[in-house]
Structure 1
Amino acid sequence: MLWEALVAPFAEFGFLRRALVACLALSLAAPPLGVFLMLRRMSLTGDALSHGILPGVALGFLLAGLSPPALAAGGLAAGLLVALGAGALSRATGGREDAVLAALYLSALAAGVALISWRGSPVELTQLLFGSVLGVDDAALLLAGGAASAALLFLALAWRPLALECFDPGFGRSVGLRGGWWHLGFLALVVLTLVASFQAVGTLMAVGLMMLPVVAARHWARGLGGMVLAAVGLAVLASVLGLLGSYHADVPTGPAITLCAAGLWAVSLLLGPVDGLWARWRPPRHLEG
Structure 2
Amino acid sequence: MNTWLVAPFAEFAFMQRALLGCLAISLGSVPVGVFLMLRRMSLTGDAMAHAILPGAAVGYLVAGLNLGAMTIGGVIAGLVVALLSGAVTRMTVLREDASLAAFYLISLALGVLLISLRGSNVDLMHVLFGTVLALNDDALVLLCAIATTTLLTLAAIFRPLVLECADPRFLASVSRWSGPVHFIFLALVVLNLVAGFQALGTLMAVGIMILPAAAARFWAAGIGAMLVVATGIALLASVAGLLLSFHAGLPSGPAIILCAGGLYLLSLGFGPVGSLAARLWPRPHLSA
If the length of structure 1 is used for normalisation, what is the TM-score? 0.95
Tell me the residue number matched to 1:78: 77
- Which residue of structure 1 lines up, in the alignment, with residue 192 of structure 2? 193
Structure-2 separation of matches of 1:195 and 1:15: 21
| 2:17 corresponding residue in structure 1 | 18
The answer on 1:262 being equivalent to 2:256 is: no
Write the mapping of 1:95-174 to structure 2, written as runs, cut at 5 A.
95-174=94-173
Structure 2 spans left out of the alignment, 5+ residues: none
Give, in angstroms, the shift of residue 283 of structure 1: 5.5
Aligned 8 A contact 1:135 1:199 in 2: no
Please tell me whether the aligned partners of residues 57 and 115 of structure 2 are also in contact (alpha carbons under 8 angstroms): yes
1:84-134 alpha-carbon deviations (Å, 9 max, x no partner): 110012222221111111011011111111111221122221111111134
d(CA) in 1 for partners of 2:54 and 2:269?
Answer: 39
1:37 aligns with 2:36: yes
8 Å CA contact 1:76, 1:192 repeated in 2: yes
Cα distance in 1, alignment partners of residues 133 and 21 from structure 2? 12
Q: Which structure 1 residue ranges, 5 or more long, are not aligned?
A: none
Which is further off, 87-96 or 157-166?
87-96
Assess if the C-alpha contact under 8 Å between 1:131 and 1:252 holds in 2: no
| Equivalence for 1:280 | 279
User: What CA RMSD, in Å, does the superposition of the two structures yield over aligned residues?
Assistant: 1.5
- Name whichever of 78-87 and 112-121 sits farther off: 112-121
What residue is the counterpart of 1:176 in the other structure?
A: 175
Q: CA deviation at 1:39?
A: 1.2
Q: Is the 8 A contact 1:200 1:253 kept in 2?
A: no
Tell me how far apart the structure 1 counterparts of residues 132 and 161 of structure 2 sit (CA, whole Å). 34
Deviation digits for residues 253-277 of structure 1 (CA, Å, limit 9, x no counterpart)? 2211110000000110111001111
Instruction: Provide the rounded CA distance (Å) in 2 between the counterparts of 1:283 and 1:197.
Output: 38
Please give the alpha-carbon distance, in whole angstroms, between the structure 2 residues aligned to 1:135 and 1:72.
16
Aligned length: 286
Structure 1 runs, 4 residues or longer, greater than 3 Å off: 283-287
Cα distance between partner residues in 2 of 1:102 and 1:70: 26
**In 1, distance between residues paired with 2:220 and 2:28?**
18
| Offset from partner CA, 1:240-259 (integer Å, 9 cap, x none) | 11111222222222211110
TM-score (norm 2): 0.95
Match of 2:210 in 1: 211
- List per-residue Cα deviations over 1:163-191 (Å, max 9, x = no partner): 11111223323322321111101100110
Secondary structure in structure 1 of the residue aligned to 2:62 = helix
Closer, same or farther: CA 251–115 of 1 in aligned 2, 3 Å: farther
C-alpha change, 1:90 and 1:286, in structure 2 (3 Å) is closer
- Aligned-partner residue type, residue 64 of structure 2: G
Tell me the equivalent position of 2:247: 248
Identity percentage of aligned residues: 59
State how far apart, in whole Å, the 2-side matches of 1:90 and 1:186 are: 18
Q: Deviations over 1:210-250 (max 9, x none)?
A: 00001100000011111111111101111111111222222
